[in-house]
Amino acid sequence: MVTMRLHRFALRLRHPFRTARGAVDLQKTLIVELEGNGRHGYGEATTSAYYGCTIANMAAALESVRPRIEALSLADLDPALLWDELDSALRTNRFAQSALDQAAHDLWGKVHGQPVHRLWGLATHRLPPTSYTIGIDDVDVMVAKLREIPDWPIYKIKLGTPDDLEIVRALRRHTDAPFRVDPNCGWDVDETIPKATALRDLNVEFIEQPLPADRWTAMERLFAASALPLIADESCVVESDVDRCHGRFHGVNIKLGKCGGLTPARRMIERARRLGMLVMVGCMTESSVGISASAQLLPLLDYADLDGALLLAEDIATGVTFERGVCRVADEPGCGARLLR
Residue ranges and CATH numbers for the domains of the chain are 3-113 (3.30.390.10), 119-339 (3.20.20.120)
What gap in Å lies between CA 261 and CA 105, rounded to an integer?
A: 10
What gap in Å lies between CA 337 and CA 330, rounded to an integer?
A: 8
To the nearest whole number, what is the mean pLDDT of the chain? Answer: 96
In this predicted structure, the answer to whether residue 158 has a pLDDT above a threshold of 90 is yes
Predicted confidence band at 234 (pLDDT cuts at 50, 70, 90)? very high
What gap in Å lies between CA 291 and CA 317, rounded to an integer?
A: 10
In this predicted structure, the answer to whether residue 143 has a pLDDT above a threshold of 90 is yes
Element containing residue 176 per DSSP (H, E): none
In this predicted structure, the answer to whether residue 318 has a pLDDT above a threshold of 80 is yes
The reported pTM is: 0.96
Burial 185-197 (b: 16+ CB within 10 A, else e): bbbebeebbebbe
In this predicted structure, the answer to whether residue 20 has a pLDDT above a threshold of 80 is no
In this predicted structure, the answer to whether residue 18 has a pLDDT above a threshold of 90 is no
Q: Any alpha helices (H) in 131-179, and if so which ranges?
A: 139-148, 164-172
Residues 6+ apart with CB under 8 A from 21: 50, 184, 185
User: Tell me, what's the pLDDT at 173?
Assistant: 97
What gap in Å lies between CA 211 and CA 218, rounded to an integer?
A: 8
User: Tell me, what's the pLDDT at 125?
Assistant: 86
pLDDT (mean) for 16-42 = 91
